[in-house]
Structures are given as C-alpha cells and as structure tokens.
Amino acid sequence: KAGVTQTPRYLIKTRGQQVTLSCSPISGHRSVSWYQQTPGQGLQFLFEYFSETQRNKGNFPGRFSGRQFSNSRSEMNVSTLELGDSALYLCASSKPTATNEKLFFGSGTQLSVL
C-alpha cells in the first residue's frame, strides 16, 4: 500500500510569490491534514479536510488556504509569500470516519522563501 505522497520535495520561491503544494493520501483515507514545521515554532496545525470540507483550521493568516478533491487528494496554497513562510510543510492522512486517530505523514515539502 503506497504511503502519503507529497510533491514537490523541495521548492524555492521569492517573497511575494505564491506556491501550491500537493498531497496524495493513502488509498481509502478521507482525512487530510497539513502542518507547518519550523525550528522556532515547531509543528503547527494548519488545517484538516474531510470529504472535501474543511473540518478544522489552525491559527494561520488567510494567505494560507487549502482544498480537497473528490479523490481525497489535497492541495495547500500560500499566497504573497513571506520570509517567515520558509518551513517544512507536512501532510498527513488518516482513516475514514475515524477521529482522533493516528496520522500517517508524508515526507514533506521543504519550502525556502528568498
């Protein structure tokens, strides 16, 4: 069974640009969550999607958005990039209908904003 796949693995952007990150969950998993990891703030929850609907949202500005498609694949978008958006962005999926269960993480997308 294939794991959670995130693309691209590395990304370099400049301030003011926008970026789209992609995540394909494990087959059959309908919940997809996104996390930002930085050395200073650690792992912070961005948002969670379940059956194409945003179910939970973390404390991030509106520049951070996401969506989920009918095949459960998810994308997150960051507009007007700032230097502080440089981070490892991790996607995780979990089983259908399960709440508060374990997450399966992808390898992440390392975003560098110059």
Partner 1 sequence: SQQGEEDPQALSIQEGENATMNCSYKTSINNLQWYRQNSGRGLVHLILIRSNEREKHSGRLRVTLDTSKKSSSLLITASRAADTASYFCATDALNQAGTALIFGKGTTLSVSS
- Amino acid symbol at 50: F
Q: Should residue 106 be labelled a site residue for partner 1 when binding is judged by CB under 8 A?
A: yes
- Is residue 45 a contact point for partner 1 (CB under 8 A)? yes
51 touches 39 (CB < 8 A):
no
Kindly tell me which of 48 and 85 has the beta carbon lying closer to partner 1.
Answer: 48
Separation CA 11–CA 94 (nearest Å): 26
| Joined tokens for residue 40 | 């200073």
In the complex with partner 1, which residue's Cβ is closer, 83 or 98?
A: 98
Q: Is residue 86 close enough to count as binding partner 1 by CB under 8 A?
A: no
Closest CA to 3 of 97, 110, 91: 91
* Site membership for partner 1, residue 108 (CB under 8 A): yes
Query: By C-beta, is 75 or 103 nearer to partner 1?
Result: 103
What would the two tokens of residue 17 be?
A: 């640009």
Q: Rounded CA gap, 35 and 2, in Å?
A: 21
Residues forming the site for partner 1 (CB under 8 A):
4, 31, 33, 35, 42-45, 48, 50, 55-56, 58, 88, 90, 92, 94, 98-108, 110
